[in-house]
Amino acid sequence: MKETFERLSKITAPVCVTLVLRTHRVHPENEKDIILLKNMIADASKRLEKEYGQDIAKRYSEKLAKLAEDIDFRHNDHGLMLFVNDDVAEYLRLPIKLHSRIILDTTFATRPIVRALHRSSHYYILTLSKGKARLMEAESDALVQEFTTGGFPVEDQNLLKLARAESSKAARVTNLTQEFFNRVDKLVNNIRRQNPLNVIVYSEEINYHDYMKEADNPNTIIGHVLLKNFDEKASNLVKSVWPNVEELTLAKNRSRIAELKQAINTGRYLGDLNDIWEAVQKGRGRTIFVEEGYFQPVKNENGILTPISSEEIKDKNDINDVVDDMIEFNLQFGGDAVFLEKGSLENFNKIALVTRY
């Protein structure tokens, strides 16, 4: 997913078509997804003909239809995206619920992928005990890999033996445990340098707190899930941990609203669409906060944005979703994006930007 985002977000072309669908995992609901996609392709064809002419409409509609034939709807996730231009024809399933829409622009709409990535659908699980550690990479509820390189899995036989010994050696166990957790943390960070994902710690409560004392980058650790079985099969472990990952991520995002309140007091808050648009294009944005499901088409006249409805998009210079573009600009300049539940930003008009200065 991350590779797809990085590749597609760099593409600029005269016409890029993105179809975004809310889909269903189970039968018979997923049969309706096929009909929805066919209808969206027909609607996209009409818009393409109106905005770009008959030749492009015919060519791109055929590419979309052919792409749709390759999709096995029995394996749907919560969301589906199709990307088509002269050089690209591909689709991507996403583990988050999407708002179905059609986007015609000079770039592909990648905000849903950003949302999925920032909902920590791609993460590490550090399985930890006194003297043993495993590291897994997961995406949503599926195992990507369990690391057998980079020092993992880790075992300290001396510590394991001492941990089973009499309580008179408790002080020695504590010291060795701290050293062991410190070593494990450095191994985790070595791997994170290659792929900087967040980490979930799967351990007993006391081991989690002791590990956090040794962690060099505690802000990259989303939280803790109580250890049930250290030696559990990796794929089963991921499935059992995933529901906790979603909850922990939502809780962490909620806590970040405090950053908005602080930004208001220090004059580093923007809430107007035009102000945010100008700031992110200049690289002034640090964190952009967006409510789930919020998107906003706009008319761009001489750099002034005027909100319109999707039905009012009539010109190829109109922006299908300015929120998507704002997020992309902010990420390009090294900023961050936080997605919050609907209603969380009622007092901020569903979107807000914390600036760098």
pLDDT for 181 beyond 90: yes
Q: What mean pLDDT do residues 113-132 have?
A: 82
Amino acid found at 98: L
Alpha helices in 256-343 (DSSP H): 257-266, 273-281, 322-332
Q: What mean pLDDT do residues 16-42 have?
A: 91
Q: What is the mean pLDDT of the chain?
A: 89
Of residues 148 and 142, more confidently modeled: 148
CB atoms within 10 A of CB 286: 18
Q: Is 206 exposed, middle or buried (0-12, 13-18, 19+ CB in 10 A)?
A: exposed
Q: What mean pLDDT do residues 135-143 have?
A: 88
Please list the residues that pair with 351 across neighbouring strands.
290
Q: What mean pLDDT do residues 94-117 have?
A: 85
- CA–CA dist 185, 307 (Å, integer): 48
Q: What is the pLDDT of residue 163?
A: 63
The string of pLDDT tens digits covering residues 65-98 is 999 999 998 888 889 999 999 999 999 998 777 8
Band (pLDDT 50/70/90 cuts) for residue 239 is very high
As given in the structure block, the two tokens for residue 19 are 């179809």
Provide the residue count of the chain.
357
198-203 and 221-226: which strand pairing? parallel
Q: What mean pLDDT do residues 323-334 have?
A: 86
Q: What is the pLDDT of residue 252?
A: 78
CB atoms within 10 A of CB 319: 20
- The continuous run of DSSP H or E covering 135 comes out as strand 132-139
Angstrom CA distances, 335 to 75, 176, 227, 318, stand at: 34, 39, 34, 25
Angstrom CA distances, 226 to 164, 199, 205, 208, 240, stand at: 21, 14, 7, 9, 11
Band (pLDDT 50/70/90 cuts) for residue 135 is very high
Q: What is the pLDDT of residue 106?
A: 92
Closest CA to 126 of 118, 137, 110: 137
- CA–CA dist 222, 251 (Å, integer): 9
Q: What is the pLDDT of residue 165?
A: 57
pLDDT for 283 beyond 80: yes
Is 249:201 a contact under the CB 8 Å cutoff?
Answer: no
Q: What mean pLDDT do residues 2-29 have?
A: 89
The string of pLDDT tens digits covering residues 244-254 is 987 887 787 78
Band (pLDDT 50/70/90 cuts) for residue 317 is confident
Is 52:316 a contact under the CB 8 Å cutoff?
Answer: yes
pLDDT for 119 beyond 70: no
pLDDT for 167 beyond 60: no
Largest CA distance in the chain: 83
Closest CA to 24 of 74, 99, 90, 83: 74
198-203 and 101-105: which strand pairing? unpaired
Q: What is the pLDDT of residue 121?
A: 67
Phi, psi of 198 (to 5 degrees): -75, 165
Query: In which region does residue 187 sit, left (phi positive, over 0), alpha (psi from -120 to 50) or beta (all else)?
Result: alpha
pLDDT for 159 beyond 90: no
pLDDT for 232 beyond 90: yes
With a pLDDT cut of 90, the percent of the chain lying above it is 55
Alpha helices in the chain (DSSP H): 2-8, 29-52, 54-69, 111-118, 157-163, 170-194, 205-214, 234-255, 257-266, 273-281, 322-332
Which domains, from first to last, does the chain contain? 2-118 (3.30.960.10), 122-254 (3.30.420.60), 257-355 (3.30.1330.30)
Band (pLDDT 50/70/90 cuts) for residue 149 is very high
- CA–CA dist 87, 126 (Å, integer): 40
